[in-house]
Amino acid sequence: MRKKNDILLKSAFEEAFPDLLRFFFEDADNIFNMDRGFEFMDKELSELFPELEKQGGSRFVDMLVKTFLGSGEEEWILIHIEIESVSGRNFAKRMFQYYYRILDRFEVEIVALAVFTGKKNQNQPAFYQKNFLGTKITYEYNAYGIQQHSEKELLAMNNPFAFIVLAAQKALLMGKIPEEELGEQRLTIARALIQTKQYDNEQIRRFLYFLKTFIHIENFEINSKFDKEINSLTGKETAMGIIETIKMLAKEEGIEKGREEEKVIIIKHLLKISDFDVDKISFLTGVAKEFIEEVKIDLNNNR
């Protein structure tokens, strides 16, 4: 679950990247040229840290993004973002290593941001310092803990990225509060996003899928209530397009074991997060109803 949620959170950060910049940097629309778009440089980042692969590690939650400035000049900067649930003892050192390797490779300006998604705020100083016999270096970076703002403050920001932060807060409550209460809090986030009227239908659909999967609830009735409420708010059924998002998630999870297994994963996702009956899943996926029934039985037996 943790690995899947890391992937979902990273994808949500990418989806809402312009709003992420507005959330963390004042006057972001003047600083950055939003119309130029953004380039997510996962491949380049992995090349800078080959030792992570040798150690069996995977930096799913690291992001390196090329952005353009709003000054009209051709220069570009890199924003390095770390998403961490906790800040380890060597975290500041690793932030510094990222900085000097990126600087050495690209020779551009770098903005570093660490986002902590754990239960407690990270109160440690956001800097790395070395001092030996008159040789001294201090490296400071931006840091943010998701508990830094209250739910009331996040809902009042009128920034869609604030809802991702709020979702990350609520995900920490899974298994700690009744699912009915968690379902209501999940609905509160969905309503707030839709009512901002800042997202088009496709963006809303993708965010709602993130929200429903990230804050996962097993209860069928709670999920059915969520779907009905969303359909009422949007004035249309939001089911179409879910298949594509599920396929994307399956690919990101590294599932490449053949077409048959891909079908099983998609069907299981639909059975878990929607109130679709076998006929509707068959219609959406093009899979035989008998096959879906078999997956459903297997899913129920393993719960």
Residues 9 and 143 in one domain: yes
Q: Which among 90, 124, 148 is the end of a domain? A: 148
pLDDT (tens digit per residue) in 33-48: 999 889 988 888 888 8
pLDDT (tens digit per residue) in 52-94: 555 544 444 688 899 998 887 767 788 888 887 766 678 888 8
The stretches of the chain forming alpha helices (DSSP H) are: 2-15, 17-24, 28-31, 42-48, 50-54, 91-106, 151-155, 160-171, 179-196, 201-214, 220-234, 242-252, 259-273, 278-285, 289-301
Whole-number average pLDDT of the chain: 80
pTM score: 0.73
Residues 225 and 245 in one domain: no
Residues 144 and 53 in one domain: yes
Helix (H) or strand (E) holding 116: strand 109-116
Count structural domains, the chain.
3
pLDDT (tens digit per residue) in 103-132: 999 998 899 998 888 876 555 668 989 999
- Domain hosting 189: range is 149-238
